[in-house]
Homo-oligomer: A and B are copies of this chain.
């Protein structure tokens, strides 16, 4: 049951460990080792079921072949989809992924430092929360490969990839306006995040572009209880001024909208249109007919990983790259 080591293979093949290492790492040619010998070594390794001890490799090379994925929360469909894509893509590059969720302010710093401190990962993909600014800065300054996603810090030069929030909202607004809606409410959250600002701007610019002067914005408080938020949303939907469409600026807000629909017994004000900026996959829980601005998670994830890989590849510092992915408009059909 003992694991076979490189040395074992060397002994079995009658060569030195160095030779085995060269062959198994594809440097046979380069080291001008005869084909016959190389094949023999490979055969022995295969037969004995040899797998290099990655821990030893890591210690020796200083690379762990692991990536750290730090997200806000592990419960949530967005994370789930995201993580899966990252995992698959990373595997294609020969990397494994270690996850950490920040959940709350305190822990996040700890997690970061802990993983970082032990230098066990070769790079990071992070969904930053407002409190992480300094951690990210530290990471960037120590020249660690990092990619931010879903948000970023305007003051820090780190590559980031996110959905084009502005475009998403304007797309949705165009859709509504084209269908004749005019009294369009916008439900957002009172958090000072850059992506929220962009979404709000999209709403306002769209109205302005079409000469609609009525602006109806509901700011849901960041950390109210759910019930209170639902009450707010419910009032917003049902009360004056008699909106004919509602735009939910986030996934979570859309869910509050869904709950409101439930509460109202699925009896919405006549023809009320609902549209929502969707993370991912919550979509399918909405009733048919609801429109969503879908975040292209797969694309975001893939892009983030590419960005990270290119950083790891060159190792010579990090350039600030911003990639914005276009979201698409999807109408919840009956399938």
- Chain A contact residues, CB within 8 Å of chain B: 1, 3, 51-56, 58-59, 64, 73-77, 79-81, 83-84, 87, 96-101, 103, 115, 117-120, 142-143, 226-227, 255, 258-259, 262-263, 265-266, 281-282, 284-285, 287-288, 334-335
- Picked from B3, B73, B76, B226, the residue with its CB within 8 Å of the CB of A119 is B3
Find the B residue at minimum CB distance from A56: B59
A52-B118, A55-B59, A226-B335 known; 14 new pairs, CB 8 Å cut-off, are A1-B143, A51-B118, A53-B118, A55-B55, A55-B58, A55-B120, A74-B87, A75-B77, A83-B99, A227-B335, A258-B285, A262-B287, A262-B334, A263-B334
- Picked from B51, B103, B255, the residue with its CB within 8 Å of the CB of A117 is B51
Inter-chain contacts of A142 with B (CB < 8 A): 1
5 residue pairs, one from A and one from B, having the closest CB atoms? A51-B117, A285-B285, A75-B80, A54-B118, A74-B84
Flag if A55 contacts B64 (CB, 8 Å). Answer: yes
Q: How far is the CA of A56 from the CA of B64 in the complex (A)?
A: 12
Find the B residue at minimum CB distance from A118: B54
- Picked from B59, B76, B115, B285, the residue with its CB within 8 Å of the CB of A59 is B59
Flag if A98 contacts B98 (CB, 8 Å). Answer: yes
How many copies, total? 2
A125 to chain B, nearest CB (A): 14
Inter-chain contacts of A262 with B (CB < 8 A): 287-288, 334
A121 to chain B, nearest CB (A): 10
Flag if A84 contacts B58 (CB, 8 Å). Answer: no
A42 to chain B, nearest CB (A): 17
Inter-chain contacts of A1 with B (CB < 8 A): 142-143
Flag if B87 contacts A100 (CB, 8 Å). Answer: yes
Find the B residue at minimum CB distance from A226: B335
Q: How far is the CA of A118 from the CA of B94 in the complex (A)?
A: 13
Inter-chain contacts of A80 with B (CB < 8 A): 74-77, 79-80
Inter-chain contacts of A81 with B (CB < 8 A): 75
Find the B residue at minimum CB distance from A281: B75
Find the B residue at minimum CB distance from A111: B91
A/B interface sample: 30 pairs, CB < 8 A: A1-B143, A51-B117, A51-B118, A52-B118, A53-B118, A53-B119, A54-B118, A55-B58, A74-B83, A74-B84, A74-B87, A75-B77, A76-B80, A77-B77, A80-B80, A83-B99, A84-B103, A87-B100, A96-B98, A96-B115, A97-B98, A99-B99, A226-B335, A255-B284, A259-B284, A262-B287, A262-B288, A262-B334, A265-B266, A266-B266
A305 to chain B, nearest CB (A): 15
Q: How far is the CA of A59 from the CA of B67 in the complex (A)?
A: 19
